[in-house]
Structure 1
């Protein structure tokens, strides 16, 4: 056991972020890797027990982290996004949540053997999915926009509702036991106050941002402080209403459409990712060996099976009757419902409270909850991608390329990518610049890529590479800088600077923008001039008979290597600082002078002529 809290904090952070990296590197569900890391460090090896070692600080740390995570998730709940999905989402988070509560409570009573009071309390809590587990799965699975948005909205909205249902059920128990109506009235009043407080905080922060009362450098810290205050005030009045308050605050800010909120969203996402990583490790590391062994109780196994295969699918199918959801979408949404941090934290709270009230069967709540959390995280984490592909609700395929800027060069590049079965899209705000692409049947989008409306009309899920290829260097840099958080700096590219007389952008590109494509001097003007002068896009497959070394040796001195398509489907663009070596099975695409093409045509014609002469002599 590590005695130093500083060492424990270091280890928790290392395991959390390291688990995220392992999950990304080997395409595994991040929550599963984090759970295993926490279990190994805690009950298995006994290296640490955060709940015991952190003492009174443990629960406040977990609660504040959940509040920040839920707030960050609710910042994405713009009502414009739910356009066309309003009815299914509304039905799922209301009627579906109610059905899940009733059915889950019945399963807890008749299968897990819990008393009615405990069953209805924990049944309310088990309707939650939450952003801590749903959002990582959605990033991993690359679902189509419609089912992805439904799962995201459900996870974020139902998270506080589930906690409140558990509190509501507990207050009903207190009311029936003590015949005290004031407790029930206090619950409803506290919930209404929490929503009002969140709305006021959101409106207040938004107004201060818009009027300039908060300087730019203080905006993120100010929001962070207000979120904690909003959560704490509501939670002190009534336990778990703080989650409702921060959700209301986040949704209020998201629908005010303030540019400052969009700018800081990436900071909030980074904080949220760090908190998810560390908190999940802390929770799993705090479990005891006895809790883990109790999971194998037949009653607990039966309850978990019912929740997975009966309760969740049935509640989704019944609640979406009469909506426009397809059977495939119902099947996917009806299967995916992983439980996460909120379920674990709130269950531990109610276990202690119910035991104090004399309900001895509440002693198994932590084991029951962890069994459901771990099983759903593993089952849904490993199956979401496979099931989405089977139901044709996945954007599976080779990583695509999003090209910003219509021109002769980008049209030729896009056509070549399309011929290689790589998804590609050209976007431009000018119909005229898109005319070449449209005339050749290329997939295109007419609109301003930097507009906030774009994300509602353009699905960017299939595209993992961004190529900014307009004639304006500053615009290319702005586009890459804007989308670096989504695509990553290694996958964001822009054309080489034009180096026009009077411009001094050389220093600028090192601090903002994307990676420069191809080679120095391959500017918009140069590339388009080559295409207009007859240069062609040549695809060459590397084989044992024609290795990469021979290709480089025979390449025309005026040729420009553009990218390598790997046999795995991955695309590696050539840059001035990075020249990739092609292996057997890879395809190199280059922009070749027309003389090579003429030579090939002449050789082909000469071969045909000789063939005809040979036939005549026979």
Structure 2
């Protein structure tokens, strides 16, 4: 019990640490697992430090043993793949750009074929083991790409390609790895890859697809027909995922992973009601599973396994994967696109492997050791997991540390964005967004209210239904063109929280909010916070009343801050003017703030609202 609790605590600590130091969560998860697992044996021996190997501080094999370990890890991986399948919409695949589509199709083929050949030539693996390795290194994933993109801030083309590659390659790559594995293990010790293997492989595919689609159809029916209450929908869907996994495996061995992946893909394309809530629930569940799963799996590795892969050949294989296969796949996939040479070079460099790679490799490793058919040699099976972990840790560390300076060297970092993201899509936010659109300023509204987002859509304002404070928003939305946040909700605490949290993600000191009624009543104007919108002249309620009076949008050329203040302080404007922003010749806006001096230069436009 103590070790199980330790796994959870360490997993949650690793998640917090990844957020704090802005690295993909998989890196601290694996490192902490290695520290409390195999590395700890160097310090726990009876004869002291680095002399004799002692017991592990935490050993995954002692927590879950034999078939229980396989079932726990296999089910956890199934839930991770189900969540990944929920991201794959066929409508998005149809409209993907040529570069992204080719990287998914051509890039995956090049990576798998190249990884297979490299593993055979460099590591002297059998064809079966090499195929498994080649299929496992396909996946990157949004959980590792996202933090790198937020840190590097590359231009729009690179951000778009890497973001969509990460989202789509997650379920697609996992599906390829699962099918490859099924194909390999379907060959018996005598038949190898022959007719029996092909027949078993075909049955596995058919069962997985059939069960996955059938359970998705059932779940869609139960929810859309309101046959279960809303508060039970997430739990019922979780039960269906587990049932799909178990039923598929009971009909055809090892078809469960395929079934749950297909189930997720089918659900998202059936337009199931309340799917956002289901996705959100599964994302939270997957974070919990990942938090303990990867500390558990890392702790299972023995120090001998680490020594096996810390060889010259292993590092040569790593170099081939990163510096030969990735550039080859990118340049072949982007042939004839509008990407520049420097953009292709940077895309060639970024290929961190992620959580799905580690999860699927772990389940394969456990399964291979429990098999009595010995489809691949046991010494190669022992090397497969640590070798994949070497690729994961190596790519995340190397590219996480060097991506930013390389992007600057290649000149592919994005210019300072001039767009505005709004935390709200209500009447006030929509009003300001429409004004900004007149000046060709990119805008994005974000709100959890369906009514508000529906109205924004009707007014042809870009909108995201959900909270941009959540991590998934940064995976689904390209924030590369938004350099400011305007928090305009009626809740002052949420506005302040959003400015504090997103101040680390957006351009520094570019998060602004409504003044609160309490601040207006208790503070002198000179003591107003520095990120208050509209000179602090209106809180949410006052601004809402003001715009309902149909104010006129005014524009005046200004050359200094004094000219702006003169307009605001004119006697005829008392109580009839709300300052909005100043826009310069480069189409950048500066909100009218309470204390911070406006950056007003020559021939800038001052935009304000006036009631006649």
Compute the TM-score of the two structures, normalised by the length of structure 1: 0.68
Could you say which residue in structure 1 is the equivalent of 2:166?
A: 151
Pairs within 5 Å for 1:7-86: 7-45=2-40, 46-56=56-66, 57-85=68-96
The alpha-carbon deviation at position 464 of structure 1 amounts to 7.8
SS in 1 for 2:421: strand
Which residue of 394, 397, 400 corresponds with 1:381?
Answer: 400
Which consecutive residues of structure 2, in runs of 5 or more, have no partner in the other structure? 41-55, 445-458, 519-531, 563-574, 582-590, 600-605, 607-612
CA distance in structure 2 between the partners assigned to 1:89 and 1:175 by the alignment: 42
CA distance in structure 1 between the partners assigned to 2:233 and 2:89 by the alignment: 20
Could you say which residue in structure 1 is the equivalent of 2:178?
A: 163
CA distance 1:259–1:539, shift in 2 (3 Å): farther
CA distance 1:111–1:216, shift in 2 (3 Å): same
CA distance 1:325–1:521, shift in 2 (3 Å): closer
Could you say which residue in structure 1 is the equivalent of 2:448?
A: none
How many residues of Structure 1 are paired with residues of Structure 2 in the alignment?
Answer: 510
The alpha-carbon deviation at position 74 of structure 1 amounts to 2.2
Could you say which residue in structure 1 is the equivalent of 2:524?
A: none
CA distance 1:133–1:189, shift in 2 (3 Å): farther
Could you say which residue in structure 2 is the equivalent of 1:467?
A: 486
CA distance in structure 2 between the partners assigned to 1:495 and 1:353 by the alignment: 63
SS in 2 for 1:64: helix
Which residue of 286, 301, 310 corresponds with 1:296?
Answer: 310
Cα offsets for 1:533-587 (capped at 9, x unmatched):
x9x99989xxxxxxxxxxxxxxxxx999999xxxxxxxxx999xxx9xx9xxxx4
CA distance in structure 2 between the partners assigned to 1:537 and 1:23 by the alignment: 46
CA distance 1:493–1:574, shift in 2 (3 Å): same
The alpha-carbon deviation at position 158 of structure 1 amounts to 0.9
SS in 1 for 2:92: coil
The alpha-carbon deviation at position 42 of structure 1 amounts to 1.2
The alpha-carbon deviation at position 88 of structure 1 amounts to 4.0
Contact 2:23 2:147 in 1 (8 A): no
Could you say which residue in structure 2 is the equivalent of 1:115?
A: 126
Deviating more after overlay: 379-388 vs 515-524: 515-524
SS in 1 for 2:182: helix
CA distance in structure 2 between the partners assigned to 1:249 and 1:63 by the alignment: 16
Which consecutive residues of structure 1, in runs of 5 or more, have no partner in the other structure? 411-426, 500-514, 541-557, 564-572, 591-596, 598-618
Cα offsets for 1:221-257 (capped at 9, x unmatched):
1111111222233344445533322222212222233
Could you say which residue in structure 2 is the equivalent of 1:545?
A: none
Contact 2:220 2:267 in 1 (8 A): yes
Contact 2:209 2:259 in 1 (8 A): yes
Could you say which residue in structure 1 is the equivalent of 2:383?
A: 364
Could you say which residue in structure 1 is the equivalent of 2:460?
A: 447
CA distance in structure 1 between the partners assigned to 2:289 and 2:418 by the alignment: 29
CA distance in structure 1 between the partners assigned to 2:114 and 2:476 by the alignment: 38
Which residue of 221, 228, 247 corresponds with 2:242?
Answer: 228
Pairs within 5 Å for 1:518-537: 522=539, 523-525=542-544
CA distance in structure 1 between the partners assigned to 2:7 and 2:504 by the alignment: 27
Could you say which residue in structure 2 is the equivalent of 1:340?
A: 358
The alpha-carbon deviation at position 139 of structure 1 amounts to 6.1
SS in 1 for 2:123: coil
Contact 1:539 1:589 in 2 (8 A): yes
Deviating more after overlay: 120-129 vs 450-459: 450-459
Could you say which residue in structure 2 is the equivalent of 1:555?
A: none
Contact 2:38 2:301 in 1 (8 A): yes
